[in-house]
Structure 1
Amino acid sequence: MHRESADTVPQGPNQPCPSSTKSHVATTLLPAARQSLFDHAVGTDPPAERTGQRQRLSTEEATRWADSFDVLLSHKYGLAAFRAFLKTEFSEENLEFWLACEDFKKTRSAAKLASKAQRIFEEFIDVQAPREVNIDFQTRELTRRNMQEPSLSCFDQAQGKVHSLMEKDSYPRFLRSKIYTDLLSQTQRRLS
């Protein structure tokens, strides 16, 4: 599930990312990713205009993302924009965990359930997990106990905590971010 991207900055073990590096990444690497998102969303991507196959994001749709966090998460371009924003804050593991849980809940094979649960736990929940999400001790321990007999609901409490954290913390900042305001501006410019 973990993908390396051009936005990542190689870090040694237990080395905090210096703020100058964060700033450098956010200002030099992410504009290209942000532009790619705009090209896809607003339909300025030249191949898309030639084929006419890509659906364009309307100003009305992008404006609706501010109605609620769940509206944002339910829209493919909203999800992409929010992911791009979280990358600038080095907290995309929260969204990736939430999405992994949503995918996990669709598991129909009992044989795959335990292995998928273990993979999610090791990647996001376990102490010192490579993409550890910020949850409290009680939630982590409850999830660890749930892993003894994995079910489709074994991550529900942890997923809820992460959803709440993103909704109360990251989402308001996203709505004020350059990524979102630029996207709105581009959709409005396309109409004029």
Structure 2
Amino acid sequence: MYQEAADSVLQGLGGPCPSGTCPAETAAAVWTPKRQSLSDHTIGKDLQNARTGQRQNRGMRTRLGCLSHKSDSCSDFTAILLDKPNRVLKLSTEETTRWADSFDVLLSHKYGVAAFRAFLKTEFSEENLEFWLACEEFKKTRSTAKLASKAQRIFEEFIDVQAPREVNLDFQTREVTRRNIQEPSSSCFDQAQGKIHSLMEKDSYPRFLRSKIYTDLLSQTQRRLS
């Protein structure tokens, strides 16, 4: 994006003039040394910003490269499991193996959630997990005023028709939830959350256990012990 912006600036300054509108004499009169100097400065600044943007995006591109739709494996899982750089991944083979015991065991482990989220991103269905997590966080809300605002925000983001991250719910569940948030309580998303939990457990979770994201991560923890 940054490079395209810089190229656009260069093309706009150096491209041909419309026929009959700016002959050489007019161009010479318009582009005074002072204005040329200003243009050079602008181009240089845009190119510098482009290079800066490219450097800042290298880490993100590496991170996203692990989540390519073409491949669900990654050689360095610290990029997707750790929320801060330079941290040591403290994950044992026993913990990783237990993720296969049940879906709820996976969801109870922070690295399990991170690995499952990375897998869902390769399938473009991470909104299911994000909705489930939002509901879990919503249940911890104690303020009545905050309950109402949070409930509305979750509904508009995940449940409403054509929501930005709409989850796959049937019409009846959507309408029940719509009525529930009119008088919100900590349980107003229970039916919708249960449907999405069941969907992930029956559909996405088995594929996650067969994915290279999980099997490669399990192999990495085993190699650390050898």
TM-score by length of 1: 0.77
- Mapping for residues 81-160 of structure 1, pairs under 5 Å: 81-160=115-194
> Do the aligned partners of 1:33 and 1:84 also contact (CA within 8 Å) in 2?
no
Q: Are the counterparts in 1 of residues 72 and 212 from structure 2 also a CA contact under 8 Å?
A: no
Deviation, structure 1 residue 27: 3.7
| Paired residue type of 1:60 | E
Amino acid of the structure 2 residue aligned with 1:177 = S
| Paired residues for 1:1-192 under 5 Å | 25-27=68-70, 31=74, 34=77, 36-37=79-80, 40=82, 47-48=86-87, 54=88, 56-192=90-226
Runs of 4+ in structure 1 deviating by more than 2 angstroms, as ranges, are 24-35
**Which residue matches 2:44?**
none
SS at match of 2:161: coil
Aligned-partner SS, 1:26: coil
Q: Contact between 1:105 and 1:152, CA under 8 Å: does it hold in 2?
A: yes
> Cα–Cα, structure 1 residues 28 and 185, in superposed 2: closer, same or farther, change >3 Å?
closer
Q: Give CA-to-partner distance per residue, 1:32-61, whole Å, 9 cap, x none.
A: 7845136x59xxx8x44xxxxx46110010
Rg larger in 1 or in 2?
2
Cα distance in 1 for residues equivalent to 2:61 and 2:157: 21
- Any idea what SS the aligned residue of 1:107 has? coil
Q: Percent identity?
A: 78
CA apart distance, 1:111: 1.1
Cα distance, 1:171 vs structure 2: 0.2
Unaligned runs of 5+ in 1: 10-23, 49-53
Q: 1:105 to 1:25 in 2, by over 3 A?
A: same
Q: TM (normalized to structure 2)? A: 0.66
The 8 Å contact of residues 125 and 132 in structure 1, kept in 2 or not, is answered as: yes
The CA distance in 2 between the partners of 1:140 and 1:63, in whole Å, is 36
Amino acid aligned to 2:199: L
Deviation at 1:30, TM superposition (A): 7.2
Could you say if the C-alpha distance between residues 86 and 119 of structure 1 is closer, same or farther in structure 2, counting changes exceeding 3 Å? same
The aligned counterpart of 1:13 is none
**How far apart are the structure 1 equivalents of 2:119 and 2:76?**
10
